[in-house]
Amino acid sequence: MTTLQAIITAIVEGVTEFLPISSTAHMKFAQAMMDIDPSDAFVKMYDIVIQLAAILAVVILYWKKFVNFKSWGFYVRIILAVIPSLIAGALLKKHIDHILGSVAIIAIITVVGGIILLFVDKWFSHPKIEKEEDMNNPTAIKVGLFQILSILFPGVSRSAATIIGGMASGLSRRVAAEFSFFLAVPTMAAATAKELYDTYKETPEALHNSNLALLGLGCLISFLVSMIAIKSFIAYLQKHGFRVFGIYRIIAGLLILGLLYFGVIRG
């Protein structure tokens, strides 16, 4: 991975991490267009770690929520919601790695997810919960179970799965989106720790100094871009809903499938 490729990947991650269009899918699409080897140990680690960097933007923007130690209910809900995905991630890592190696499969999942997003606003148009504080523990667990879909099927989008899970549980679009952001922090922290450990154990040469410098640059770019993307997404979502993201996913997925079919990119 060159410096330019790392920068482009980080920008793509920062823009798409909190949108219901799958940052993983878009990084894989971008890397396929740049002819980056998806099986490279450093590339796989890079993709995971810069996602955590993007998600740390949540901690900065919502820092009052994360340091409010008087509200233990918030931490309990986050812990309960993250447990299902931690278990699924630990048990299904080989399955996940296999799916992530196939751009074609991710593109198909992207299209299917787009079709679902076309109807989400109509399906869940009468929310009952307008504040995160009003969520109960079973609701948090239900959102966590929805997050497993993004682990089983990379390309579903972690944010899409959890936001839809939240709305299906009665949360408003804004509350569902914000809880999805909060849940991303421990989820990606765990995924990053696991990936770094596996890389150090299996391919320690991927952690040499030049790669670490590249990783640091990618993290910084991903973090800064995400700061802008989060605020923009919340504002847009409250006014317009998910339909445009569904249309975009369908077009993007079909485009990638077309490029694969004609041999423009490798899948």
Helix and strand counts by DSSP (H, E) for the chain: 12, 0
Rounded CA separation 76/174 (Å): 20
Rounded CA separation 113/250 (Å): 8
Q: Is residue 181 part of a domain?
A: yes
Rounded CA separation 16/28 (Å): 12
Q: Is residue 56 part of a domain?
A: yes
Q: Is residue 137 part of a domain?
A: yes
Q: Is residue 267 part of a domain?
A: no
Q: Is residue 169 part of a domain?
A: yes
Give 36-94 pLDDT, tens digit per residue. Answer: 987 888 898 899 899 989 989 999 999 988 888 778 999 999 999 999 988 988 887 66
- Write phi, then psi, for 6 (nearest 5 degrees): -65, -40
What are the distances in angstroms from CA 219 to CA 47, 182, 186, 225?
10, 19, 17, 10
What are the distances in angstroms from CA 4 to CA 7, 11, 212?
5, 11, 15
Q: Is residue 240 part of a domain?
A: yes
Q: Is residue 140 part of a domain?
A: yes
Give 127-181 pLDDT, tens digit per residue. Answer: 999 999 999 999 999 999 999 998 888 788 899 999 999 999 999 999 999 999 9
Q: Is residue 206 part of a domain?
A: yes
Does the pTM surpass 0.85? The reply is yes
Range of the domain at 9: 3-261
Task: Give how many domains the chain has, as a whole number.
Answer: 1
